[in-house]
Amino acid sequence: MMSSRLEMLRVVNALDADYQFSEDFIHDSRVFFQKGNQTTVLAIAEENVIGCATICYIWLMPTFSHPTGKRAHLMNVYTSEPYRRQGVAKKMVSMLMEDAWNHGATEISLDSTPSGHPFYESLGFVDSKECMVFVRS
């Protein structure tokens, strides 16, 4: 799972193939997979991990549009190059969307690269301008 996630992060962030993540980053990621409120799926072909995707569950104060306060955030959707455009990502995301609804989520959010927008739109996701973010520097 970690090797697939690190490969995805290298590709998405245009890092060198030999880029080394900090030990703290790797440790904290492993702990999140072990203890975090999330579901992760792996796609496997010929005993190799060829894709991964994670959905994290967040509980916020209920609102009128989200009366349970349960929300989900899809992240780290990745398929290895030779397996792209074969339905792998669609299957993983569909499984995680079903999992989110089964967990009582009323919304699924995600961050996407521009090249990923058409894929997510094909699954019914829409662009949202509802959120502002403060990033501490």
> Is 82 within the bounds of a domain?
yes
Q: CA–CA separation, 51 vs 78, rounded Å?
A: 5
What are the tens digits of pLDDT across the range 8-27?
889 888 999 899 999 999 99
Return mean pLDDT, the chain: 89
Residue 19 resides in a domain: yes
Element (H, E) at 78: strand 70-79
Rounded to an integer, what distance in angstroms lies between the CA atom of residue 68 and that of residue 2?
32
Residue 31 covered by a domain: yes
27 belongs to a structural domain: yes
Band (pLDDT 50/70/90 cuts) for residue 134 is low
Structural domain includes residue 130: no
- Backbone phi, then psi, for 125, in 5-degree steps? -75, 145
Assigned domain for 136 exists: no
Overall number of domains in the chain: 1
Mean pLDDT, to the nearest integer, of 65-81? 89
Domain hosting residue 75, numbered range? 2-122
pLDDT at 137: 72
DSSP state of 17: T
Q: Phi, psi at residue 84, to the nearest 5°?
A: -70, 155
Residue 132 lies in a domain: no
**CATH classification of the domain holding 74:** 3.40.630.30
